[in-house]
């Protein structure tokens, strides 16, 4: 299982700001965290990658 924290999710979303990533992961429809630890939330990488593929077009797709 691939686990992702907010920084890894930021990287997958093209290096967006921490503030923007926090907004995105808090939206309805974004996968719930797999677990919340003292260091922060941790997500299932497979679920996050599937959400990104469905909801965040790649720059090449935006033309």
How would you write the pLDDT of the chain (63 residues) with one tens digit per residue? 999 999 999 999 999 999 999 999 999 999 999 999 999 999 999 999 999 999 986 655 443
| Number of compact structural domains in the chain | 1
pTM of the model: 0.84
Q: Report yes or no on 14 lying in a domain.
A: yes
Q: Report yes or no on 28 lying in a domain.
A: yes
C-alpha 16/C-alpha 56 separation (Å) is: 12
Around Cβ 21, how many Cβ atoms within 10 Å?
A: 19
Q: Report yes or no on 63 lying in a domain.
A: no
Q: Report yes or no on 42 lying in a domain.
A: yes
Q: Report yes or no on 16 lying in a domain.
A: yes
> What burial class does residue 18 get, using C-beta atoms within 10 Å of its C-beta: 0-12 exposed, 13-18 middle, 19+ buried?
exposed
16: its two tokens: 């967006």
Give the range of the structural domain holding residue 25, as residue numbers without chain letter: 3-58
| Alpha carbons within 13 A on the beta-carbon side of 50 | 10
SS3 (DSSP) at 55: helix
């Amino acid at each position: 299982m691939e686990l992702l924290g907010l920084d890894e999710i930021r990287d997958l979303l093209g290096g967006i700001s921490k503030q923007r990533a926090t907004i995105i992961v808090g939206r309805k429809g974004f996968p719930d965290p797999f677990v919340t630890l003292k260091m922060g939330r941790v997500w299932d990488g497979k679920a996050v990658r599937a959400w990104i593929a469905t909801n965040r077009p790649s720059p090449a797709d935006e033309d």
